[in-house]
Amino acid sequence: MKFHKEGYTTLALSILFVFVINALVHFFYSDNVVLTWIVYIISFVLLVTVIQFFRSPIRKITPGEQKILCPADGKVVVIEETEETEYFKDRRLQISIFMSPINVHINRSPIAGVVRFFKYHPGKYLMAWNPKSSTLNERTTIVVESSFGVEVLFRQIAGALARRIVWYVNEGKEVKQGEEFGFIKFGSRVDVFLPLGTKVNVKLGDKVKGGVTVLGEFDEEQPIS
């Protein structure tokens, strides 16, 4: 288990905050044992929460050209055919993963290939499970084209608590399947748009792991939409 680089500043500020609060309590309320222990407990919970949130577990990635790996840890909240209006402008299969504050918030590329499109959208901070968050919230849109010409679109979407989206890709960059392409802080959502005809291996409510769970598979027998 490692600590993710995106958490360094947050951890440093948390440690400073805990140090100052504990110092003040010891200076002004050293005789109040109950208050001292309450501050100890709150300080411990805060530090554990920060460490837990920014943890970066080592994942064994098993790549496969026909596989679509899950881009994030969380729960499957949407599986439906929908109109994708930004890039494809046609019908696609959407799978959405909701990431709660207790999930690992690293985002991983579902497929290997070349980034053909990237765009950052400033926006609102609706609850991540709100259907309108896909088009109204702060978000990024990334499209990766596989070695056999199939394009997959995925979006990082900020939630009510997530106020910072981080990405490590740009147009023209080659990405490996399962490697990190970004990070979202404090609760969020990732949408994946797949060609119609893609075999889906998950169902609503499933708990999934980024880079490990196989969301679906391209159908070798059927032409991809």
Closest CA to 4 of 73, 49, 55: 55
Tokens of 206: 């499933």
147 catalytic per annotation: no
Query: Which one of 96, 134, 146, 188 is the catalytic residue?
Result: 188
Residue 133 has a CB neighbour count (10 Å cut-off) of 26
Closest CA to 97 of 73, 113, 81: 73
What distance in Å separates the CA atoms of residue 193 and residue 134, rounded to the nearest whole number? 12
Closest CA to 216 of 192, 195, 199: 199
Catalytic residues: 188
